[in-house]
Amino acid sequence: MSKIALDGYKNEQDFRENIRITTELEIYFNKKITNIIKEDNGKKSDNKIIFHDYSIINIQNKKFKYFKGRGNSFDRRHVKDTFKNPFLRKYLTFLTLDRKNKMTKEQKNDFIKLANNNINDIFNYIKKCLIGKQNNNNDYFVIRIKQNNHDCYNGHYIISSLKLFNYIKNNINIQVKRTCIHLSKNIYLQRKGSDKTDNNPNHIQAKFKIDKEILDLCYKLI
């Protein structure tokens, strides 16, 4: 198992076992927590919060090493599972996976125009990445910032997945830069890469950039 994966599991475990986090969650949701349990592997969420009233909330935990900068991976999938429109997928394949040919300026502009003309397809893709789908979704994101360059932002933050999605949706700004397509200032897509160490280097990786505007939408737990 890679260091990144181990670090992610440790972050999820810390969320379950940190008493200070549990106390703040009870304040945030205004009800007692009975248990926080690990979600099954392969699910969109990482943990489940079970409340005293038997209600359940699905949590996706994400640790961010970078504040702004290059962003951190939060979703990866085969290109066929990205956009519904086949021409969008064709352009995405050309831009991110074609190692021999480069898009011309005209082709990049055509890709941007096509994406804007199929904006609901873009929204549906973002929703799949952030929230998931029925019966395999998360309700809240818990974002952990832990890095040295911006100590004032370090901590655990919680936000409704739908609130985060709506923020991204309302700030769509599609641009093509080098071999990436940026859907907003916070989300961009690229080839996964790491040919020697990854079994699926040609998957499409979505990367998320955390900034102050995102954190201002969140509730800081600790």
Nearest to 182 by CA among 118, 121, 126, 100: 126
User: What is the torsional sign of CA 182, 165, 97, 111?
Assistant: negative
The pTM assigned to this predicted structure is: 0.91
The per-residue pLDDT string of the chain (222 residues; one tens digit each, 9 = 90 and over) reads: 566 677 788 999 999 999 999 999 999 999 999 999 999 988 999 999 999 999 999 999 999 877 777 888 899 999 999 999 999 999 999 999 998 999 999 999 999 999 999 999 999 999 999 999 988 999 999 999 987 566 788 999 999 999 999 999 999 999 999 999 999 999 999 998 764 665 677 899 999 999 999 999 999 999
d(CA 138, CA 47): 9
Contacts of 135 (CB under 8 A, 6+ apart): none
